[in-house]
Amino acid sequence: MAKIKEFTAAEQRSARAERVRVFEADPYGWIAQSEARSEQGYHLFSDPETKQLACTCADFIYRGNAEPGFECKHVTAVLKYLGRCYLKFDYDPLRQMSRAA
Residue 36 counted as domain residue: yes
Residue 1 counted as domain residue: no
Q: Are 15 and 23 in contact (CB under 8 A)?
A: no
Calpha distance 65→99 (Å, rounded): 38
Residue 49 counted as domain residue: yes
Calpha distance 49→47 (Å, rounded): 6
pLDDT digits (tens, 9 = 90+) for 72-83: 999 999 998 988
Domain range for 25: 10-100
β-sheet bridge partners, residue 71: none
Residue 67 counted as domain residue: yes
pLDDT digits (tens, 9 = 90+) for 7-44: 787 777 777 777 788 989 988 999 998 777 667 899 99
β-sheet bridge partners, residue 45: 54
Say what the pTM is: 0.73
Calpha distance 98→93 (Å, rounded): 9
